[in-house]
Chain A
Amino acid sequence: GAVVSQHPSRVICKSGTSVKIECRSLDFQATTMFWYRQFPKQSLMLMATSNEGSKATYEQGVEKDKFLINHASLTLSTLTVTSAHPEDSSFYICSASGTGGSEQYFGPGTRLTVT
Chain B
Amino acid sequence: AQKITQTQPGMFVQEKEAVTLDCTYDTSDPSYGLFWYKQPSSGEMIFLIYQGSYDQQNATEGRYSLNFQKARKSANLVISASQLGDSAMYFCAMTPAYRGSTLGRLYFGRGTQLTVWP
Quick check: A101 and B101 within 8 Å, CB to CB?
yes
Task: Kindly identify which residue among A38, A43, A99 contacts B102, using a CB–CB cutoff of 8 Å.
Answer: A99
Instruction: Give the chain A neighbours of B101 by CB distance below 8 A.
Output: 101
Quick check: A103 and B47 within 8 Å, CB to CB?
yes
Quick check: A43 and B108 within 8 Å, CB to CB?
yes
A28 at the B interface (CB under 8 A): no
CA distance A46 to B110 in the complex (A): 13
B103 at the A interface (CB under 8 A): yes
Instruction: Give the chain B neighbours of A108 by CB distance below 8 A.
Output: 42-44
Interface range for B: 20 to 34
Quick check: B102 and A32 within 8 Å, CB to CB?
yes
Instruction: Give the chain B neighbours of A99 by CB distance below 8 A.
Output: 102
B68 at the A interface (CB under 8 A): no
Instruction: Give the chain A neighbours of B106 by CB distance below 8 A.
Output: 34, 44, 46, 95, 104
CA distance A29 to B81 in the complex (A): 37
CA distance A34 to B103 in the complex (A): 11
- With both beta carbons as reference points, the residue of chain B lying nearest to A111 in the complex is identified as B43
Residues of A within 8 A of B (CB): 1, 31-32, 34, 38, 42-46, 49, 91, 93, 95, 97, 99-106, 108-109, 111
Residues of B within 8 A of A (CB): 35, 37, 42-45, 47, 50, 91, 95, 99-106, 108-111
15 A–B contacts, CB within 8 A, in A order: A34-B106, A38-B43, A43-B109, A45-B108, A49-B104, A91-B43, A93-B45, A99-B102, A101-B100, A103-B47, A103-B99, A103-B103, A104-B95, A106-B44, A108-B44
